[in-house]
Structure 1
Amino acid sequence: MPGQYIVTLDKLVDPAKAAQKLGLKPTFVYSKALNGFAVPLTPLQLTLVRNSLGVKAVEEDAKLAAPGAMTTAGVSAPAVPRRPGGWTGSTSGTCLSTATSPPTAMARA
């Protein structure tokens, strides 16, 4: 999603306070899966955020389809391969679930 970013912060940095300090208005503040926030950024803001203390990473946001889910074109999205020890629903390197079997809805897809 062009212009939309996910900012990941060091563990001890408060995401809401960091966004406020940088003059940003997050669209979402993360506290469970990661420590950070989602925010629209201009190119200048992107440079400032990337160079700010306490910022671990800034990545462009993207929409991902769940494995086996129908896309907007009506075509089934490719399934993510099963890895030993669990399922992964992420292609970005962040695994949000380590369940040993897929959710029921995914099993029926």
Structure 2
Amino acid sequence: MEEKKYECPFEIALEIISGKWKGLILWHLCQRTYRYSELKREISGITQKMLTQSLRALEEKGIIHRKVYPQIPPKVEYSITPLGKKVQPILYMLQDWGRDIAKENNIPCKN
């Protein structure tokens, strides 16, 4: 399979965090370590399939870490890597921007 070519680093970054769910997953993992079921409960509306696909994609890029504990029943935890932690300031800026948009347009928002 041919390796994908990118026009610029911005395109790489957008590909990693694009979509409805990856940003939300990163947002939560920047706060603390989560087990799969905790993330599923925390992110309203995400399907099991989408959560699994998004976690795998982020893990593949080295943005999150998946730790499997050798026990029965199996225990798996997800955490942010140092590379993934670098996106945290950007996520906070996006949150502030979204808050401004919500305020300007009278869009109801929890936070």
More strand by share: 1
Larger Rg: 1
TM-score (norm 2): 0.22
TM-score (norm 1): 0.22
